[in-house]
Chains A and B, each alone.
Chain A
Amino acid sequence: MVKFDDVWLKYQHHGHAAAAAPDVLRGVSFEIPGGGFRWLTGPSGAGKTSLLKLIYLAEHPSRGRIDIFGTHAAKISRRDAALLRRRIGVVYQDFRLLPHLSAYDNVALPMRLARRNESQIHADVTEILRWVGLSGRLEALPDELSGGEQQRVAIARAVVGRPKLLVADEPTGNLDDEQAERLMTLITALNRLGTTVVVATHNQALVARYPAARLEMANGRLTSHG
């Protein structure tokens, strides 16, 4: 499902020589089978978010090979990459909601991009927003929502299309314990239905409550796998 083979990453910014940029990931190799669940842990700056970006095809590695859904990521066309992204649900650390769209429309966006019909969208979006406790806030804009509510909208958007791969970056960071539990119930339920899950977190208590294999990172390297 997800396979990294000696993957390196350095960000190349305009005006900076590529050689001078530091490697944020160094020789990362691992494999997550279909339906697997992995915690991604490590201190801040360890490279967790960069690794997640490579998984959800937001970056190209500077070296090494990545296979997603059995496809060599570097070999696919832009169109096929976009179609692959539709099968990946992503919960961003900073939510990344569209500020001019309501909670409902934000969650509906991936389904509309996939050209689902409106009746199916309505059923799925209202159901998932009810699940995350936002059935009364469908028309609220992101600015009108609290941080926790925004995070729940972001989670709903990530899972509404029943993705084959779910990638979450600190998904419980702004949630209270009850909401965090509800979220983990949802994620584990998706995982049981076959969705491959990678969750980056600092929350060791959460990791302890939901035991699963770990990808542990430090200084851009994978220090523990399994």
Chain B
Amino acid sequence: MAKRTDSLGLHSVLADWMLPVLVAAMSFLAALAVAGTLASTMLAAQWQNNTTSALTIQVPHPDAPDAANDGNRLGAVQTALQTMPGVTNPQLLSTDAVNHLLAPWLGTDVAQLNLPLPAVITATWTGPGSPDAIAAPLDKLAPGTLAQSGSQWASRVTALTGSLQTCAAAVLVIVALVAAALVALATRAGLAQRREAIEIIHALGALDADIANRFAARATFLTVTGAAAGALLALPVVFWLATLAAPFAGPAASPTAHGLPSLPPALWTALPTLPLVAAIIGWGSAQITVRGWLRRLV
């Protein structure tokens, strides 16, 4: 005689298609939130590295004599930059490059405006500490010279990344709460449908744990199935977004051997945990719901 392991008939009671489909949708959103968080963290680290080390030096009136009257100001600043410790690869931007940078504000005919544009030198800061210390000596050689580092942009990128991570965490919390509520609703519906059967096995001496475990096991199976499906469905979208973000990610996003963009390694750890988290939510929510409901029975 075959033993019936599901004496409450839960297989047909917890709406089989609805709970996993809804949990799959929650898992899909969670996967995107996790991917977004990890990608923004990776991109922010890349951008911070680039912007923090970038130096931009503006030399107004570049052809005017320098402070020592040994030559023009641009030459004096370029010479000084060559010998300054921590400053590497100083490059004078061409007039065309400067005009290209200013085109969004001044149009494409910048040269015809005869504006007194400064000369712009880019360099990389590799020294210790802040690059702000180079501004004063350059100003002595060529009054009005500005030396800007990317640190102020880096702090803004850090703030932006923090905001994105906070938003993603909020999305994950909301998704988890909604998933728990869905499991609770499905479980309550199952309890209502099987009220008489539950009352009978309760009267026969079933422990609250016996009944709660049966519901929780079924809810866990359904949520794990849904979460795994949602995480799998999110993968193509994550790859598509990674393709779009690749130009901003630098060498870290170089394609894999299969031509797909590489994803943050942490994502490959995080995605498989979604079904695990769903299992915990499914089990816990069903247990709490059933045990609370059973309290009405003597």
Q: Which residues of B contact A114 (CB under 8 A)?
A: 205
Task: Count B interface residues, CB 8 Å.
Answer: 18
Given contact pairs A58-B203, A82-B208, A98-B197, A109 touches B298 in the complex (Cβ within 8 A): no
How far apart sit A85 and B298, CA to CA, in the bound complex (Å)? 11
Stretch binding the partner chain, chosen from B2-10, B108-116, B129-137, B139-147? B2-10
How far apart sit A110 and B202, CA to CA, in the bound complex (Å)? 10
**Cβ–Cβ contact B208 & A100, under 8 A:** no
Taking the closest CB of chain B, its distance from the CB of A89, in whole angstroms, is 9
How far apart sit A59 and B297, CA to CA, in the bound complex (Å)? 9
**Cβ–Cβ contact B7 & A109, under 8 A:** yes
Given contact pairs A60-B298, A78-B208, A113-B210, A101 touches B4 in the complex (Cβ within 8 A): yes
B204 within 8 A of A: yes
Q: Which of A78-98 contact B (CB under 8 A)?
A: 78-79, 81-86, 90, 96-98
**Cβ–Cβ contact A82 & B1, under 8 A:** no
Q: Which residues of A contact B93 (CB under 8 A)?
A: none
Q: Which residues of B contact A105 (CB under 8 A)?
A: 1, 4, 7
**Cβ–Cβ contact A112 & B208, under 8 A:** no
**Cβ–Cβ contact A110 & B197, under 8 A:** no
Taking the closest CB of chain B, its distance from the CB of A161, in whole angstroms, is 9
How far apart sit A157 and B196, CA to CA, in the bound complex (Å)? 17
Q: Which residue of B lies closest to A138 (CB)?
A: B1
How far apart sit A126 and B168, CA to CA, in the bound complex (Å)? 60
A57 within 8 A of B: yes
**Cβ–Cβ contact A118 & B298, under 8 A:** no
B200 within 8 A of A: yes
- Categorize the interface residue count of chain A: 20 to 34
A4 within 8 A of B: no
**Cβ–Cβ contact B207 & A101, under 8 A:** no
Q: Which residue of A lies closest to B3 (CB)?
A: A118
Given contact pairs A82-B208, A85-B203, A96-B200, A112 touches B7 in the complex (Cβ within 8 A): yes
Taking the closest CB of chain A, its distance from the CB of B56, in whole angstroms, is 73
Contact with A along B1-43 (1 / 0, CB 8 A): 1011001010000000000000000000000000000000000
A56 within 8 A of B: yes
> Which secondary structure dominates where chain A touches chain B?
helix
Given contact pairs A58-B298, A104-B1, A109 touches B208 in the complex (Cβ within 8 A): no
**Cβ–Cβ contact A82 & B206, under 8 A:** yes
A122 within 8 A of B: yes
B201 within 8 A of A: yes
How far apart sit A110 and B7, CA to CA, in the bound complex (Å)? 11
Q: Which residues of B contact A78 (CB under 8 A)?
A: 208
Given contact pairs A78-B208, A122-B1, A138-B1, A100 touches B203 in the complex (Cβ within 8 A): no
Interface centre among B196, B206, B208 (most CB of A within 10 A): B206
**Cβ–Cβ contact A82 & B207, under 8 A:** yes
Given contact pairs A58-B298, A98-B200, A79 touches B3 in the complex (Cβ within 8 A): no
Q: Which residue of A lies closest to B297 (CB)?
A: A58
Looking at the complex, which one of B1, B204, B208 makes contact with A86 (CB distance below 8 Å)? B204
How far apart sit A113 and B225, CA to CA, in the bound complex (Å)? 28
Interface centre among B7, B197, B204, B207 (most CB of A within 10 A): B204
Q: Which residue of B lies closest to A114 (CB)?
A: B205
Q: Which residues of B contact A82 (CB under 8 A)?
A: 202, 205-208
Looking at the complex, which one of A59, A97, A113 makes contact with B205 (CB distance below 8 Å)? A113
How far apart sit A102 and B219, CA to CA, in the bound complex (Å)? 25
Q: Which residue of A lies closest to B296 (CB)?
A: A14
Q: Which of B168-206 contact A (CB under 8 A)?
A: 196-197, 200-206
How far apart sit A79 and B205, CA to CA, in the bound complex (Å)? 9
Q: Which residues of A contact B201 (CB under 8 A)?
A: 98, 109, 113
Looking at the complex, which one of B7, B202, B207, B298 makes contact with A59 (CB distance below 8 Å)? B298
Q: Which residues of B contact A98 (CB under 8 A)?
A: 7, 9, 197, 200-201
**Cβ–Cβ contact B204 & A109, under 8 A:** yes
Taking the closest CB of chain B, its distance from the CB of A71, in whole angstroms, is 15
Q: Which residues of B contact A96 (CB under 8 A)?
A: 196, 200, 203
15 contacts between A and B (CB under 8 A): A56-B203, A58-B298, A81-B298, A82-B205, A84-B205, A85-B203, A86-B205, A90-B203, A100-B9, A101-B4, A104-B1, A110-B205, A113-B206, A114-B205, A122-B1
B contact set with A: CB distance below 8 Å: 1, 3-4, 7, 9, 196-197, 200-208, 210, 298
